[in-house]
Amino acid sequence: MNKTVISVIINIMLVVALIAGVIWGVTNFSKLQSVMSGAKTNLYTDDDLSNAYLDGYNTALKNRDKYEALLTEYRVRMAELENNLILANQRNAELEMTINALTEYNAALKALLDAVPEIKERFVVTFMFDDAIYAILLVPDGEKIELQSPVSNEYTIFLGWSLSLDGELIDLSTYEITKDTIIYAKIIRKYDVTFVYDNGMYQHQIVLKGDTAKLPNMTYNNFLGWSVNGVDIIDVANNPIWQHTVYFAITEPKTFRTIKGSQTYALTSTRIEIDLKSFPNYVPADFIQISVQVGIPVAVSEYLNFGGYTLPILVGYDTAYVPFNYTIPIGSSLGVNTRIYISGSYAWANTSYFSLNSDMILSIWGNDSNLTINSITIYG
């Protein structure tokens, strides 16, 4: 119990005792005054004085007994209070020790917390690049992101990061993360577009996603249009590109086409070059066919009748021209005896040479001064 409370109780008890004594004195003072006034006239004869003393004495004894009982009770109460005070002091000491220990614990805990970095809530940040996961990061609440951006290349142009595929770009160096977030890469995609003619690449383009390819300049007279499945012709100019695309040329069925008619050449060692692509009927092909008038010797005879029989007599040779067809593949050469002579026991020939390169240039040279090419035919 608090010392101040105990002190107040003791003071109250002393005041009560003092008031009781005062009351007793006032009560008996009037009697004593009455006796004393009578005593002035009859001090030795009247018994009032003696009785007054007796009454006061008896009353004092009674009050003393009450006072002693009260004092005894007070002492008992004081002993109890002193015992409670001792217990209170012990508990106060224990409480003070507990408070001191708690204070030391709090100080140690504060020092420990000051030494440990603040642990913040972390959020999952997912980066998406062209429908695929580019990176996943755990970012503390309120902090910014450090991430190496994708590198642009021939087919992909990286523009930046956004919170949606069609949203505005954000600056990762200033954007604070406060929740789980998905961030999308904004890119411009490019795709290969290949045009194939007669099983070979005719043209290659790189086209932005969503744009259309440029229509190749196709002048071959067997060309009908372009197709992505080899069957159905589509309008290339109105076909947006969303992926790598191959266009196949749709052509008329292959056949032999005459691209050049008859012409006679006086050949020398200097090559005559003919650009086959310059002819209107030209189509790409792997080979050509040339029809050449070849001069071959034929016997000239005279006939004699002898004994009823007709006998041929050789008198010489003449030249007969016969058409021969020769096939010349791309990248090859061919030598042909285009004119053969016989005189007596001697024979010789004029030779013509043909060569076809990959640019479809036909070269002709030789020593036949009167070479006739009937036709040049191409298969396509």
Q: Where are the domains of the chain?
A: 3-115, 119-252, 256-379
| Distance, CA of 124 to CA of 307 (rounded, Å) | 122
Q: Residue 320: which of 299, 348, 349 has the closest Cα?
A: 299
Q: What is the mean pLDDT of the chain?
A: 82
| Contact status, residue 218 vs residue 249, Cβ threshold 8 Å | yes
3-state percent breakdown (helix, strand, coil) of the chain, nearest 5: 30, 40, 30
| Distance, CA of 295 to CA of 206 (rounded, Å) | 55
Give tens-digit pLDDT for 75-133. 888 888 888 888 888 888 888 888 888 888 888 877 876 776 667 788 999 999 888 89
Query: What local confidence, expressed as pLDDT, does residue 193 receive?
Result: 96
Six token digits for residue 113:
């917390």
- The fold of the 119-252 domain, in CATH, is Immunoglobulin-like (2.60.40)
| Distance, CA of 281 to CA of 15 (rounded, Å) | 143
* DSSP summary character for residue 276: G
| Contact status, residue 355 vs residue 252, Cβ threshold 8 Å | no
Q: What is the pTM of this model?
A: 0.46
Q: Residue 373: which of 348, 327, 340, 338 has the closest Cα?
A: 338
| Residue 357 three-state SS | coil
| pLDDT < 50 stretches in the chain | 32, 35-36, 39-45
194 contact partners, CB below 8 Å, separation of at least 6: 201, 203, 204, 205, 245, 246, 247
| Distance, CA of 214 to CA of 240 (rounded, Å) | 11
Query: What local confidence, expressed as pLDDT, does residue 44 receive?
Result: 42
Classify 265 in phi/psi space as left (phi over 0), alpha (psi -120 to 50) or beta. beta
Look up tokens 């309120």; give the residue. 142
| Residue 301 three-state SS | strand
Q: Residue 203: which of 174, 233, 246 has the closest Cα?
A: 246
User: Please, what sign has the CA dihedral across residues 150, 153, 159, 165?
Assistant: negative
Angle at alpha carbon of residue 269, lines to 266 and 270, rounded to 5° = 80
237 contact partners, CB below 8 Å, separation of at least 6: 212, 215
CA atoms within 13 A on the CB side of 52: 18
| Contact status, residue 212 vs residue 238, Cβ threshold 8 Å | yes
| Distance, CA of 170 to CA of 186 (rounded, Å) | 11
* DSSP summary character for residue 211: -
